[in-house]
Structure 1
Amino acid sequence: MKKIGILFGQENTFPQAFVDRVNEKAVDGITAEFVQINQVEQHVATDYAVIIDRISQDVPFYRAYLKNAALMGTAVINNPFWWSADEKFFNNALAVRLGVPVPKTLLLPSKARPDDTTERSFRNLSMMDWEAAFAHIGFPAYMKPHSGGGWKSVYKLHGPEDFFRAYDETNQLVMLFQESVEFTDYFRCYCIGGKEVLIMPYEPRNEPHLRYATEMKTTGEAGEKLLATMKDYVLKLNQGLGYDFNTVEFAVRDGIPIAIDFGNPAPDADLNSVGQANFEWVVEAAANMAIERAQAQVPGQDNLTWGTFVHPTAAKAAAGVAPKQAPQAKSKAAPKATGSVKVGAPVHETNDLGATGAPKASAKKAAGAVKPEPPTGEVPTGGKAPAARKAAPKKKA
């Protein structure tokens, strides 16, 4: 019997409906339940062939548990290794590579220095040319974290004063400065299993419980073309990123769908917000995907989904493209290692991070030596480091 588990947090409607739907299908050898975690030991498999992850972005303990489970052969949805590395700025860059339109975006260094850093940690960073940045992005614009979601620390900016006021509040967050897209239509699209797509009209300016209470404005042939284009973009993005369960949001400007937010690996699936029809679709699609993955799962092997950019070899294999084989060379005995192994000497010097507390050198050894001094000043941003102080010449006897 293969078990499908769902790992979740405060949500109520989707987890229970998902488990019930899988079990109602009564597929031979497949059952579903809420994940139960007791003791987690390294390199020990879980009881689950598949785990749907809805919460590990908020609970680091769960993320570590899922990585260990994946190593031992559980098909974790979504891939916990990629989800740990994923962030909005890279996703935008990948979208451009895939041919999907996105807003103009700049990455900003954090306003406050990260812990355990000083001015000297940023000698590679030039002064920001704010006027050029404002000219490139324009106003109105948005400032938002380069990683994370949930509309936390998102600012709408109408000019430079708004920009600097918001920037001063961001502390150690690395932010994006992004153009505002004035749209005539807006959509949120589910993508399940990298192949099933549901396109939902969405109004992000409404209160949360009313955001799906809207209709598509574009009609006729233009509407059909728009839907087909969005479906194509949704599939490209999710296959490129390697997400099994995700949503993509598009703002439509001049008939062109611009991808605004497409890294939502635990998207809202609550009955009370998405509505009955959309809820029914996502429950059914997720149940079918989980069953399919459980049937294909091989214990002890890698059963994760990898994006075409992140893991191109796996992507080619999934597409049925055999990797090119290099011509086999005649087998030879491995050459014997000829290099020596050397043990490094202990260091008893003062470096530019502080003294080591090592014993003083003998008078004979220290004669004529110049004691190194730590730097006394900072390197100006964008400037050159001061010339090294020359050692004094030895005096003649």
Structure 2
Amino acid sequence: MTEKIGVLVGWEQTFPAAFIERCNRVPGITAELAKLGGTPERFSSPYRVLVDRISQEVKHYRFYLKAAALGGACVINDPFWWSADDKFFGYSLAARLGVAVPRTVMLPQKEYIPAIDKQRSLRNLEFPLNWESIINYIGFPAILKPADGGGWKDVTVVRTPGELLKAYDASGLNVMTLQEFIDFEDYARCICVGRERILPIQYDPKRPHPITGLRGAYIHNPQDGGRWTDKGLHERMINDSIKLNQALGYDMNSVEFAIKDGVPYAIDFTNPAPDMDIKSILEPHFHVVVDWMVDFAVKCAKEGRKTIDRYPLGKLEEVEPVRFGERG
């Protein structure tokens, strides 16, 4: 019996092409770019495994992946959890796991949709905010950024109370976090597959990305292959990444660490569609990551894993799927 693996992609080319080609070398496995169309409510997924690289940008894909999970697929990553996740929750979770994180405070959004009556609908909010206590806890310089954002969008470094209030007043509908600025000496981004396979790579969050031009680029170090000579630091980043992935349930992720005084501070670790382009993560890292993803997806397919089995919904009885052209 042949098991089908589908991949949902955006602009990227090198990872999906290599992943599909290598999956198709495995006996009993057929991989392809997933094809989605009209989806009936009684739906059985034609794919045993779906690898999601783009649903954060295409709403239809996210809805489809939830239906596919209900219809028996293993979705990488879990679309139910990904829809509910946010970065501030991640910081709170990391602190409870014993992973070092910068001091962080979540702030109420500055603006609201017109339907919100600020006098009646916001009676639960503390007003004015106790800015003195917040600033004393975080200190300066600090980073003001969205609680659910990414890609350095709407991120501001603030160094004084005046700069903080100006940036906060301009934050609009975003829920923001104010975070301690870690003046790092080194930086790593760890590519994570299957929750336990971790590849730390040196990273520069200030260098332009080779494809998008946005902030952040991997550093190719042929002398050590991206490994840190400090074995304790290297092992701690791997172990902390495993803790975070196990707790968050992500099977495809990247975890960023800002390293200061020998301590890796987890800065960003909810990235369920991590950058895996060969021009970005470079060789030999690209081939390692592709092989890990192939191994994991094939294992999920052959073992018949289902995302929905993690939830009470997994106990529902199966229904006869609808086939278009039929009335049931």
Question: What is the Cα deviation at residue 115 of structure 1?
Answer: 4.0
Question: What is the Cα deviation at residue 189 of structure 1?
Answer: 0.2
CA contact (8 A) 1:8 1:55 kept: yes
Higher RCO (Cα < 8 Å, 6 or more apart): 2
Relative distance call for 1:227 and 1:56 in structure 2 (3 A) is same
In structure 1, give the amino acid aligned to 2:207. Answer: N
Aligned to 1:248: 255
Superposition pairs of residues 276-355 of structure 1, within 5 angstroms: 276-297=283-304, 302-303=306-307
SS at the partner of 1:190?
A: strand
CA contact (8 A) 1:51 1:76 kept: yes
SS at the partner of 2:270?
A: coil
Question: What is the Cα deviation at residue 304 of structure 1?
Answer: 5.2
User: Is 2:198 aligned against 1:194?
Assistant: no
Question: What is the Cα deviation at residue 43 of structure 1?
Answer: 2.7
Query: Normalising by the residue count of structure 1, what TM-score does the alignment of the two structures yield?
Result: 0.73
Superposition pairs of residues 126-165 of structure 1, within 5 angstroms: 126-127=126-127, 128-165=129-166
User: Is 2:230 aligned against 1:260?
Assistant: no
Q: Distance in 1 between matches of 2:194 and 2:72?
A: 18
Q: Distance in 1 between matches of 2:77 and 2:150?
A: 16
Relative distance call for 1:73 and 1:100 in structure 2 (3 A) is same
Q: Distance in 2 between matches of 1:166 and 1:103?
A: 20
Q: Distance in 1 between matches of 2:299 and 2:124?
A: 49
Question: What is the Cα deviation at residue 146 of structure 1?
Answer: 0.5
Relative distance call for 1:115 and 1:81 in structure 2 (3 A) is farther
Q: Deviations over 1:359-396 (max 9, x none)?
A: xxxxxxxxxxxxxxxxxxxxxxxxxxxxxxxxxxxxxx
Q: Distance in 1 between matches of 2:182 and 2:220?
A: 19
User: Is 2:38 aligned against 1:51?
Assistant: no
Aligned to 1:90: 89
Question: What is the Cα deviation at residue 165 of structure 1?
Answer: 1.5
Superposition pairs of residues 55-66 of structure 1, within 5 angstroms: 55-66=54-65
Aligned to 1:372: none
SS at the partner of 1:121?
A: coil
Q: Distance in 2 between matches of 1:303 and 1:196?
A: 20
More displaced, 257-266 or 35-44?
Answer: 35-44
Q: Distance in 1 between matches of 2:227 and 2:183?
A: 15
Aligned to 2:22: 21
In structure 2, give the amino acid aligned to 1:261. Answer: D
User: Is 2:229 aligned against 1:212?
Assistant: no
Post-superposition, which runs of at least 4 consecutive aligned residues in structure 1 deviate over 4 A? 214-220
Q: Deviations over 1:16-51 (max 9, x none)?
A: 111011112x22x21100001122111311210000
In structure 2, give the amino acid aligned to 1:37. Answer: L
Q: Distance in 1 between matches of 2:189 and 2:146?
A: 20
CA contact (8 A) 1:251 1:259 kept: yes
User: Is 2:269 aligned against 1:270?
Assistant: no
- Aligned residue pairs: how many? 302
Relative distance call for 1:168 and 1:104 in structure 2 (3 A) is same
Gaps of 5+ in 2: 211-215, 315-328
CA contact (8 A) 1:243 1:305 kept: no
Q: Distance in 2 between matches of 1:283 and 1:141?
A: 36
Relative distance call for 1:246 and 1:64 in structure 2 (3 A) is same
Q: Distance in 2 between matches of 1:72 and 1:40?
A: 11
Aligned to 1:123: 123
Q: Distance in 2 between matches of 1:100 and 1:138?
A: 21
Q: Distance in 1 between matches of 2:33 and 2:250?
A: 21
SS at the partner of 1:43?
A: coil
Question: What is the Cα deviation at residue 158 of structure 1?
Answer: 1.2
Q: Distance in 2 between matches of 1:245 and 1:287?
A: 12
Query: Normalising by the residue count of structure 2, what TM-score does the alignment of the two structures yield?
Result: 0.88
Question: What is the Cα deviation at residue 272 of structure 1?
Answer: 1.0
**Higher Cα radius of gyration:** 1
Relative distance call for 1:254 and 1:304 in structure 2 (3 A) is farther
SS at the partner of 1:211?
A: strand
Relative distance call for 1:117 and 1:279 in structure 2 (3 A) is same
Gaps of 5+ in 1: 315-397
Question: What is the Cα deviation at residue 252 of structure 1?
Answer: 0.9
CA contact (8 A) 2:70 2:308 kept: no
CA contact (8 A) 1:79 1:305 kept: no
Relative distance call for 1:33 and 1:218 in structure 2 (3 A) is closer
Question: What is the Cα deviation at residue 238 of structure 1?
Answer: 0.1
CA contact (8 A) 1:9 1:54 kept: yes
Question: What is the Cα deviation at residue 305 of structure 1?
Answer: 8.2
More displaced, 69-78 or 273-282?
Answer: 273-282
Question: What is the Cα deviation at residue 218 of structure 1?
Answer: 9.7
Aligned to 2:325: none
CA contact (8 A) 1:87 1:147 kept: yes
Task: Decide which structure has greater strand share.
Answer: 2
CA contact (8 A) 1:6 1:15 kept: yes
Give me the CA root mean square deviation.
Answer: 2.0
